């Protein structure tokens, strides 16, 4: 293929700003283009979306496929709902704004999440009481081995908290070309999350529209989460641990003030950010690898940290949270 670039830096393509090299690099603009490539070019392939949920610790000796597939289209229109198709390479936040402009509700709470449409299902993105799976209908993806375009329904994706089959069994095996969401034309807003309620009150909004909820979310996120254009990061570095009822009770006895969210199955989710802050890491840095001063769950690249430096810091944090609370933190970000 003529357009394949050789030996390029991936720095502009990952939000941590890691300056690693890719042996080969190609942008993909359609499912067809990818299918042609698979029939002529051997892997290994490395799929790249917005690069907003990955920590690159080494050069990538593979053909990097950057998803640039664009599409935004209402494919079925009912009285109260619509099915919208979006290309895997669409920017998530720009798509959210487009939906809001068209009066389509359901993803306004997910405003300002970095990344692409194609990456959104992989980790079932979520924020402020809403997850992608709540509006997800289906997706189309090219099987990188056979070149076939396959459809995945919601149940095929095995969505869970920041999880899907694409992060587990099918990791790296499919390139997501198109995502179909079911959105509402008469949306009911979800303002159950305390921070949203408070921000809307500050904004003096009593009966919020989807646009106002989006504005509130943007306000909250911008106040706590570092802008990757200014300081390298990948959002939450760890997942919030889900503890058994017994384990949580023990922990609560020792730390009565621990924030917690009981889950329907009896387990209890606790905020990793709180555990990390209590363990003394908030705002700390080792060289240029840091723990964000306003949200301890976010690790940041102050300037020249290498992927390995961030990884080392993350392991130190994991060890100290384990020592203090007996809780194992697992990563949310993909490390390569
Ligand atoms: N907290 C602290 N110190 C901190 C951070 C958090 O004590 O430094 C405690 C506070 O008690 C706070 C609670 O943690 O009330 C929850 O904090 P926050 O609302 O900021 O949410 P989070 O649980 O830290 C999760 C998601 C975020 C998402 C927010 C809002 C995960 C791994 N992270 O963070 O998602 O934006 O909720 O819904 O579930 C991401 O995945 O990259 C991401 C940013």
CB 144 within 8 A of CB 44: no
Which ligand 1 atom is the nearest neighbour of the CA of 294? 8
- Which of 220, 221, 235, 273 to probe ligand 1 with, by most ligand atoms within 8 A of CB? 273
Q: Is 123 in the pocket of ligand 1 (CB under 6 A)?
A: no
DSSP H helices in the chain: 31-40, 92-101, 194-202, 210-224, 245-254, 272-278, 307-325
Q: Where are the beta strands (DSSP E) in the chain?
A: 5-9, 21-28, 45-48, 54-55, 60-67, 72-77, 81-87, 126-127, 130-131, 136-143, 149-153, 174-184, 232-236, 242-243, 261-262, 268-269, 285-286, 289-291, 298-301, 334-335
pLDDT in tens, the chain (336 residues): 669 999 999 999 999 999 999 999 999 999 999 999 999 998 899 999 999 999 999 999 999 999 999 999 999 999 999 999 999 999 999 999 999 999 999 999 999 999 999 999 999 999 999 999 999 999 999 999 999 999 999 999 999 999 999 999 999 999 999 999 999 999 999 999 999 999 999 999 999 999 999 999 999 999 999 999 999 999 999 999 999 999 999 999 999 999 999 999 999 999 999 999 999 999 999 999 999 999 999 999 999 999 999 999 999 999 999 999 999 999 999 999
The residue written with tokens 């940041």 in the block is: 300
Cα of 26 to ligand 1 centre, how many Å?
35
Residue 162 designated active-site: yes
In sequence order, which residues have a C-beta less than 8 Å from that of residue 170 and are 6 or more positions away? none
Q: Quick one: tokens of 45?
A: 């392939």
Give me the domains of the chain, ranges plus CATH numbers.
5-67 (3.30.43.10), 72-184 (3.30.465.10), 194-224 (no CATH), 232-335 (3.90.78.10)
| Whether the bond into 44 is cis, omega within 30 of 0 | yes
Rounded CA-CA distance 78/242 in Å is 38
User: What residue has token string 């994991």?
Assistant: 318
Active site residue 178: no
Catalytic residue among 162, 164, 212, 234: 162
């Amino acid at each position: 293929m003529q357009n394949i670039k050789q030996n390029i830096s991936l720095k502009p393509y990952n939000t941590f700003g890691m300056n690693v090299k890719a042996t080969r690099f190609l942008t993909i603009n359609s499912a067809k283009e990818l299918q042609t490539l698979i029939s002529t070019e051997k892997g290994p392939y490395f799929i790249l979306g917005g690069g907003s949920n990955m920590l690159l610790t080494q050069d990538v000796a593979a053909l990097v496929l950057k998803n640039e597939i664009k599409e935004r289209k209402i494919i079925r229109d009912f009285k109260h709902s619509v099915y919208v198709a979006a290309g895997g390479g669409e920017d998530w936040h720009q798509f959210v704004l487009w939906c809001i402009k068209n009066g389509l509700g359901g993803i306004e709470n997910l405003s300002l999440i970095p990344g692409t449409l194609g990456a959104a299902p992989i980790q079932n993105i979520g924020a402020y009481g809403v997850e992608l799976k709540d509006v997800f209908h289906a997706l189309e993806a090219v099987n990188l081995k056979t070149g076939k375009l396959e459809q995945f329904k919601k149940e095929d994706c095995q969505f869970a908290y920041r999880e899907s089959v694409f992060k587990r069994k099918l990791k790296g095996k499919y390139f997501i070309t198109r995502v179909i969401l079911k959105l509402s034309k008469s949306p009911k807003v979800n303002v159950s999350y305390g921070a949203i309620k408070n921000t809307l009150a500050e904004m003096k909004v009593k009966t919020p529209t989807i646009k106002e909820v989006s504005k509130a979310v943007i306000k909250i996120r911008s106040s706590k989460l570092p802008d990757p254009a200014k300081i390298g990061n990948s959002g939450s570095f760890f997942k919030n641990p889900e503890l058994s009822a017994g384990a949580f009770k023990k922990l609560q006895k020792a730390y009565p003030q621990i924030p917690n969210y009981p889950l329907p199955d009896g387990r209890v989710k606790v905020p990793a950010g709180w555990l990390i802050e209590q363990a003394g890491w908030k705002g700390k840095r080792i060289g240029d690898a840091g723990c964000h001063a306003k949200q301890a769950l976010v690790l940041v690249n102050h300037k020249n940290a290498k992927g390995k430096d961030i990884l080392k810091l993350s392991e130190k944090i994991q060890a100290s949270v384990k020592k203090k609370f007996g809780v194992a933190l697992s990563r949310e970000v993909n490390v390569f």
